[in-house]
Structure 1
């Protein structure tokens, strides 16, 4: 078996196929994921990157850059690809995703005639360990919202926007991409709900409370007009130059706000989403209601938050009970 290209990590996206037919196939795979399967940009980049790395690895191992893909991608090399990444220290969750990417790519390649048989039918990867997400304690969440509110008291447009970012993320549990994608018309202040476009272009309605409503009103009447430009369009949240707030900026906002709370974990927007779900369940919300609010396709995804609550309950018991 040929060694990986110098400077590349086994199974990484640095292994680029040079065969023009491979590149054309990857372009079609990209189009298939984005347009036919309606995958998010992040998912498309991950799956295509994995497929590109797989082809590069297999061609390096095979040694003939012009060989037919049927001769290049075999079950043995698929397993070697995963094994090389495992030896290199790639996490179990990443291995599981790359195995899934490989199965998706080879199955699709069969349907378009690039492969005559699917070599990944019997491909498996170690199951990923589901780690409990980091969450804020309720008092930390309250302190974070208070910190954001105090920063907005000077009516600075950016501070007003930052307050909306953390209030809406925690109040609704929406994803950071969903937050940044909100338009002005997606907010119904009369009913206190957001119209959110989630994964797979699935639309859902999510409620929020009075503190978030106050933050949105302050931002809409004072903050947004001060930052808006002719190019702002319908975007609800804006950057300093008037463009739509991007996810990187929103993450920076959350980290900065939480850094003002002593003892709070260093979480990003997804941490606020986890916290919202956990606090809802601890407050008595039904699991299926939380599933709907978060936009999870499967109830199994939502159930991880019940494990978070159990772990926190066990920690309190161990600390407080004399015979724990």
Structure 2
């Protein structure tokens, strides 16, 4: 089997058996195709450890981030483990493949006061009745209020919302469904958007869409639009040149823990498969407490 056919078969295995997210499958597919190009058309059964090491070395010379190198190594290990188990290769050349560990950096978050000021500003803009302002306010309130991913926000349909209970049913990584709560401000902003903003936007397309969040032309909004919104309004607040919707998810999780929420409850809300992933936010809270102590305590 040639590399392209093997990659397609492996991607199918990731989607149907391992139930990995579409984003992960897409990234692994891209990494493996890059390796196939680097290896010069060699067949999977002829790959050795040296070829894999050269591939990672080339990525290092290009200046790829350590997180990218770690993901590429993970893609290669997963592929060749599968290839060996299925008899596609006589051995697994990736067993001794080592890549730099991802640097552990604390997520960028906004303070409570900054979030309150930001959302108040957008609530006032939404009060004018402008459909885009109503939509943008609802987007920000949902991302922060529910701590959901941008893909989960963009995938929301009307039937997924329960405004009486202030909950949303979202489809997370690996197509895992969960129900997340959001607060009264988010519920009010979504209700206002659905009543006064969304109908105007949907009418522009002339076609039915079940999507909650729609673009200026009335069709389901894409992640890029949400990224642009968050980058525009949040970057000046946190002092970052580049920022995305995930910063609001980080902020929501940190504020939940700061407010006394149980770590496992936060894990359920965020949809993390591992508690270890959620624990990064305890480090953020600890650093914030330490900074406050050093600023305020006379014996610090």
Q: Normalization by structure 2: what TM-score? A: 0.93
Counterpart for residue 284 of structure 1: 260
- The range that moved more, 246-255 or 175-184, is 246-255
Q: Which moved more, 1:197-206 or 1:270-279?
A: 197-206
Cα deviation digits, residues 197-228 of structure 1 (max 9, x gap)? 11111111111111111101101111111111
For the Cα contact (< 8 Å) 2:160–2:168, is it kept in 1? yes
Q: Residue deviations 1:10-62, cap 9 Å, x none?
A: xxxxxxxxxx9222222222333233333322212210111112222223xxx
Contact 2:145 2:186 in 1 (8 A): yes
Q: Secondary structure at the match of 1:204?
A: strand
How many residues are paired up?
A: 297
For 1:282 and 1:28, locate their aligned partners in 2 and report how far apart those are by CA, in whole Å.
45
Please, which of 222, 225, 229 is the counterpart of residue 246 of structure 1?
222
- Is residue 84 from structure 1 mapped to residue 84 from structure 2 by the alignment? no
Structure 1: 5+ residue stretches without partners: 1-19, 60-64
Q: 2:100 — aligned with what?
A: 126
Is the CA contact (8 Å cut-off) linking 1:165 and 1:253 kept in structure 2? no
Q: Which residue of 1 aligns with 2:145?
A: 171
Q: CA deviation at 1:135?
A: 0.1
SS of equivalent to 1:39? coil
**Which of 159, 179, 202 does residue 185 from structure 1 map onto?**
159
Query: Which runs of 5 or more structure 2 residues have no equivalent in the other structure?
Result: none
Moved more, 280-289 or 85-94: 85-94
Deviation at 1:253, TM superposition (A): 1.7
> Deviation at 1:276?
0.2
TM-score normalised by length of structure 1: 0.86
Residues 146-190 of structure 1 show CA distances to partners (whole Å, capped at 9, x for unaligned) of 121111111011110000000000001000000010000111011
- 1:215-226 pair list within 5 angstroms: 215-226=189-200
CA distance in 2, matches of 1:39, 1:241: 32
CA contact (8 A) 1:26 1:48 kept: yes
1:310 aligns with 2:295: no
Q: 1:170 to 1:303 in 2, by over 3 A?
A: same
Cα distance in structure 2, aligned partners of 1:262 and 1:130:
23
Question: Residues 180 and 246 of structure 1 are in contact (CA less than 8 Å); yes or no, is this contact kept in structure 2?
Answer: yes
**Corresponding position: 1:42 with 2:18:** no
1:308 deviates by 0.6
Q: Which 4+ runs in 1 deviate beyond 6 A? A: none
Q: In 2, distance between residues paired with 1:265 and 1:167?
A: 21
Counterpart secondary structure, 2:39: helix
The counterpart of 1:258, out of the listed 215, 234, 243, is 234
2:45 aligned with 1:70: yes
Q: Does the CA-based 8 Å contact 1:232-1:238 persist in structure 2? A: no
Q: CA deviation at 1:124?
A: 2.2
Name the CA distance, whole Å, in 1 between partners of 2:87 and 2:37. Answer: 20
1:162 is matched with: 136
Which residue is 2:2 aligned to? 21
Q: In the superposition, relative to structure 1, how do residues 158 and 126 fare at CA in structure 2: closer, same or farther (>3 Å)? A: same
Aligned to 1:105: 79
Range 97-106 or range 247-256, more displaced: 247-256
Larger radius of gyration: 1
CA distance in 1, matches of 2:237, 2:262: 32
How many Å apart are 1:262 and its aligned residue?
5.4
Cα root mean square deviation, aligned: 1.9
How many angstroms does 1:77 deviate by?
2.1
CA shift for structure 1 position 320: 2.6
